[in-house]
Structures are given as structure tokens and as C-alpha cells.
Amino acid sequence: WISLGAAQSYQGRSAEAVDSFRRAEAIAPDHGEVIRNLAHTAVELGDFDAARQAYERCLRLDPLDSDAWYGLSALRKHGPADVDVIDRLKRLLERTDLAAPARSDLHLALGKILDDCGQYDAAMMHFHAARDIPHVTFDPELLRRQLDAWIEACTPMALSQETSGST
């Protein structure tokens, strides 16, 4: 269901993707990837309250979920009342066991929040830190081939053949 939802989301079929992710959630209610996908899809649909709730749920399950931190930081303008969020992100960035993409996401999230709070120099320091982290080279052609294969495997005809063959 996760792969089907991802393919539907990629095709811009966000409402259908939500249905697929909900089916995945029924099977694995505490699966971070499912909840994160529900949050991303809620953003696509403009349901920012649902997105916030899903990102917060991700963080309750895994306080190190950098993708959820990044998504949550982008949902609203932050202010001085968010000092606890700033402190939490700073503590997370002190960890030495973070993978490069996670560290980058956390720097970007903190940079965005600090920028919202008018702490521009500190924000730029985090944006530059995120930029300077070496990442794995992204291969857009490989991603396109993988997504095309998922989409082909998840067409209504292919799914109906799979369903009819298994009954």
C-alpha cells in the first residue's frame, strides 16, 4: 500500500494516495513511513492541520525523524514562543550518530525557524551547514525508472489481475 500511495502521489492523485496510505496505516498504525506519507499528502491537499498532526505523531514515535522536523518547520511561521523547539533541534544536532541527510534536514528545519524568529545570522549558519554536508549523489534518471516501474505495477489493470489471480 505504501508503494501504491507513493505512485499515486507522484502522479498527482493525492486523494487516492491518502486512501492507500490509510490502508497501510490500518495494517501498521505506528509505521513512521506511512504516517510521514500521510503528512506529505495532507500538505499536497492543503490540509495543514492534518499534516501537523501527522508530523507530530511521527515525532512522538521517533524524536529523531528529521523529515518530520523539516515538514513541521515549514507548516507555519515560528516566533519567540518556539524556544523549546529551537532548543530541541539544537540538542538533536549535537548528536554524533546522525546520518548526513538527517543532519541536513535538521539544519534546514532549525534555519527556517530561526529565520522566522528574526535570527538571520544564526539561520544562515544552519542553512550553510546543511549545504556543506556531503550527500549521496542523486540520480534523477534512476528515480524516474523506479517510479515508472512502480506506476506500471500499480495500474488498475495490473492490480485487478493480481487480485483476481489470488482468489
Provide the residue-wise pLDDT of the chain in tens; the chain has 167 residues: 888 889 899 898 999 999 999 999 998 888 888 999 999 999 999 999 999 999 999 999 999 999 999 999 999 999 989 999 999 999 999 999 988 899 999 999 999 999 999 999 999 999 999 999 987 666 677 778 878 777 776 766 655 655 555 44
Report the distance separating Cα 137 and Cα 148, nearest Å. Answer: 20
pLDDT recorded at residue 91: 96
DSSP letter assigned to residue 39 = H
pLDDT of residue 21: 94
d(CA 109, CA 68): 9
pLDDT for the residue 49: 96
